[in-house]
Amino acid sequence: MAVKESTTHALLPQVVAGPDLDRRAVLYSRVSTLHHGQDPEVQSREIREYCQRRGWPLVGEYVDAGISGAKERRPQLDRLIADAHKRKFEVIVVWKFDRFARSVSHLLRALENFRALGIEFVSLSEQIDTSTPTGKMIFTVLGAVAELERSLIAERVRAGLRNAKAKGRKLGRPTKRVNAAQIAALRAQGVPWRRIGTQLGISATKAYTATRGTVLKP
């Protein structure tokens, strides 16, 4: 995709020169389908206007059209991430969080990665800008909520295991019974241990030890 240069400084003489104007910006937009009136240009146009108001040169546009947000691999998003690591820009602007991330955890991982690279993130619809004190605070709160959610899930799993153990349930994978006579017959035919294991759905080691009266857990 061709890089689009901005003439913001000439168009907006009221913008005072400063460190903010040294930030190169890129936009990311996405629509799941090109039908039903969905057009990524709607998102891109608003982002361009925002960058112009901020005085940010828009040095790249990354647009995934007709690609579901649930997909882990998105060509333009992958390219954006790669260019971020090459320090090709300082700000990423999106129209809405859900256009960029699959989930809150995905968003947080991306924001942490961008922060480590010195890249700010702006979402127009949510009015979030990680370069501002408010944006940094919201990012911290989101991170804390995600950490709490992970802790609660882990605790529920541990509580379930403790409850099962208290009721006398045996935890872990059940021991798979094997027929030592069948294994011995196969070996007598010259079948290798690995093939015997594959045929019976067990490991070659378990097949070997089973013929010696030992049953190992898988």
Residues with active-site annotation: 32
Q: What is the distance between the alpha carbons of residues 86 and 28, in angstroms, rounded to a whole number?
A: 17
Burial class (CB within 10 angstroms; exposed 0-12, middle 13-18, buried 19+) of 177: exposed
Alpha helices in 55-179 (DSSP H): 75-85, 97-100, 104-116, 133-166
Burial call 34-63: b when 16+ CB within 10 Å, e when fewer:
eeeeeebeebbebbbebbbebbbbbbbbbb
